[in-house]
Structure 1
Amino acid sequence: MSSGDGRIIGYSIAGLCYGTYLFFSGFSKFREKLLIENTPTSKIRSIAMGRVEVFGKVIADRNNVAEGPFSGDTCVHCWWTVEELRSSGKSSKWVVISQGYIGGPFFIKDNTGTVLVDPDGARMDIPMDHEYMLSKKGPTGRIIEFLTGRGISYKGLIFNKELRLREYYLAPGDKVFVMGVAGKNPFADPDRASLNEEGVMIQKGKHKEFYYIADKDEKEVLKKMGWQVIIGFFGGAALMIVCLFIIFAYFRIL
C-alpha cells in the first residue's frame, strides 16, 4: 500500500465515521423537531407544571443584568469563548483555550405575563454577537482585565498570541423561544407565589429532558431544524455510501 493509497483509505474511514455521525444526529434532530411541533405554545399566564413551550421577549431586571465580557454590552446571559491559533506543520487551527458563561436566571414576557427562566443546562441556540481578533498589538482595556482575571495568557515568547474572542448573548428586548420544564420557582416571594407565573420557573428538569433556548420564534426554529434533519439524513447517508464504495473498491470487495 503506497502512502497515497493509505491517505485515501484513511480519509474514507474518517468520512465513513463522520457520515455515520451525521446520519444519527439527523435522527436526533428529527425527534427534537417532532417534540417541538407536537407541543403547543403556552401563554405565560396559563403555564402548567411539566413540559412547556413559551415564546416572548427578554426583559431586564436590576438583579439579573450582566455585561458582555469583551463588548460591555448589556445582556442577561452571555456565552463566551477564547480561542488560540495554533500551528502544526503546514496547517493551523483555532483551539478553544477557555470558555464559560455570565448571567443567571432571567425573565421573559408575553402579552399575558412574565416568567423566570433558568438557562442552566439548556442548549443555547444563539448566533454570535461579537468577535474580536487579537494579534501582535494585543488586547486593551476591559479585555485585558477579563483575560488576566481569568488567568488567560495573551503573551507569547516574543509577540502576543493570536487570539479570537467571541460573545453570544441574550439581551433585553430579544425575542426568545424556550422549551423546558415548568417547575417551582425557588426565588418566588411566598406571599405572591399564588400568582401562577410568579411561582413557576422554566428549567432543565430532573430527568434530562430536552431543554432548548433560541432567540427566534418557533417557525424559524423548525425551519433550521428541518435543514439539519435533511443534512443529517441525506448528507450523512450519501457520505457513508461514497466512503464505503471507495473502501470496498480498494479491497476489491465489490
Structure 2
Amino acid sequence: MNILQNLFNPVVLRQEIVQASTQEFWFHAAIVVAITVAGFYFAFEFFKRARIIEDTPTSKIRSAAQGYVELVGHGDTLDGPEIVAPLSKTPCTWYSYKVEKLGDKHDQVIDSGTSDDLFVLVGKTGRCVIDPEGAIVTPTIKRVWYGSNYDGAGSDSIFDGIGRRYRFTEERMHPGDTLYALGLFRSVGGHSEVFNTSEEVRALLQKWKQDSDKLVKHFDRNKDGQVDAHEWENVRKVAAYFARKKHLNRKTRPVTHIMSKPENTRQLFLLSNKPQHELTQRYKLFAMGSFAGFLCVGSFTAWMFLVRF
C-alpha cells in the first residue's frame, strides 16, 4: 500500500486500500490519523500564541507590574564574558546550533545546543535581564552551510553541499537587534521587591534539615541527640531572623528587573527579533496552514475508512 505514490490516482489507491491486509491498513490508518490530530493541535497552538500576543498590552520596564508582561526594546549583553556562537565564533546575545552528518538515506544530528546565558532587553525606561532558558525563540538570523570536516568551516552555498559530509545550522540574536519579550517579569532588590518571608523560612529550614548532624550540634540544648519540639521553635526563630536579614540586604541593592519562563505552563515564554505585528501574522499563517492540513488529511482519513468498510 503506497499512499504517496498513488495519491493522485484514486482508482489504484482505492483498490490498494480494499486489498491491503488488516495489519497494513491499520498501520497506514494510524499514520494519517496521527497527522490529522497533529494538524489540529498545531492549528490551535499557533492561533493561541497569536491571540496571547495581541491581547497582552506592552509594558514599560520602569512601571511594569510583577507577573506576566510583554516588553519591547533591543538586545544587549551584560558585563562579563562574551556570548559567542560556537560554530561561527560570532559574538551575540543568543544562539542555537545544530551539526548534521549527511547520509545516503537519512541525516544524523551529531551535535546541537542552545544558549542559556543571560542578556539584556533595553527599553525606553530601563533595562531587564533576560533568562532565555525554556523560551520559544524567533531570531531573524539563520545560517546554513556545508563542510567536509567537523570544524564548522565551509560555504553558505547550497551547491557546495554536494559531496560534503556535514551540514551546519546556526541561529543568532545580536546586540542592537529589535527584541520582543513575553514572559514572567519580576524585580529583585530595592523597596519594590515582593519578599515572601514564609517561603524563605521554609526553604532555609529545608536546607538545614538536610544536615541533621549540624542541626543537632547547634540547637540540641539538652544534649539528648535530637531536636525536640521546644528546640525546633528556636530553630524557626533563627531561620526567621536570617530571612528578615536577607530581605533587608536586598532592599539596599539597586533594583534589577528579570524576565524568565513562567511557572504556569499555560503561559508562553516568547523571545523574538521580529516586531510584534510580524510575529502575530507569522503564527496566524502557521495556524491556517496547520488547519488546512488538518482538513485535507482528515478528509482523506475519512475517505480511507469509507472505502475500507
- Scaled by the length of structure 2, the TM-score of the pair is 0.64
Cα distance in 2 for residues equivalent to 1:243 and 1:94: 30
Kindly indicate whether structure 1 or structure 2 has the higher relative contact order, using CA contacts under 8 Å at least 6 residues apart: 1
Unaligned runs of 5+ in 2: 4-15, 154-162, 194-248
Instruction: Give the Å deviation of 1:65.
Output: 2.6
Aligned with residue 81 of structure 1, among 76, 98, 105: 98
Cα distance in 2 for residues equivalent to 1:64 and 1:172: 14
Aligned with residue 177 of structure 2, among 174, 177, 182: 174
Cα distance in 1 for residues equivalent to 2:32 and 2:274: 33
Which is helix-richer, 1 or 2?
2
- C-alpha spacing 1:211/1:102, structure 2 compared with 1 (3 Å): closer
Instruction: Give the Å deviation of 1:178.
Output: 0.7
Instruction: Give the Å deviation of 1:234.
Output: 2.6
Deviation per residue, 1:193-220 (Å, 9 max, x gap): 3xxxx43200112222311111111101
Matched ranges for 1:121-160 at <5 A? 121-135=134-148, 138-140=149-151, 143=152
**SS of structure 1 residue aligned to 2:280:** helix
1:111 corresponds to 2:135: no
Cα distance in 2 for residues equivalent to 1:114 and 1:25: 34
Name the amino acid aligned to 1:213: L
Cα distance in 2 for residues equivalent to 1:246 and 1:70: 47
The equivalent residue for 1:215 is: 273
1:45 corresponds to 2:62: yes
Deviation per residue, 1:139-180 (Å, 9 max, x gap): 45xx48xxxxxxxxxxxxxxx982211111111011111110
Unaligned runs of 5+ in 1: 145-159
- C-alpha spacing 1:64/1:184, structure 2 compared with 1 (3 Å): farther
Aligned with residue 70 of structure 1, among 65, 87, 103: 87
The structure with more radius of gyration: 2
Aligned with residue 199 of structure 1, among 251, 256, 267: 256
Name the amino acid aligned to 2:118: P
**How many corresponding residue pairs?**
223
Q: What root-mean-square deviation, in Å, do the aligned CA atoms of Structure 1 and Structure 2 show?
A: 2.9
Instruction: Give the Å deviation of 1:36.
Output: 1.5
Paired residues of 1:105 and 1:118 also in contact (CA < 8 A): yes
1:163 corresponds to 2:166: yes
Cα distance in 1 for residues equivalent to 2:263 and 2:301: 41
Aligned with residue 21 of structure 1, among 29, 32, 38: 38
Which is strand-richer, 1 or 2?
1
Instruction: Give the Å deviation of 1:184.
Output: 3.9
Name the amino acid aligned to 2:294: G
Cα distance in 1 for residues equivalent to 2:282 and 2:2: 43
Instruction: Give the Å deviation of 1:238.
Output: 1.9
- Scaled by the length of structure 1, the TM-score of the pair is 0.77
Instruction: Give the Å deviation of 1:85.
Output: 1.9
Provide the identity percentage: 22
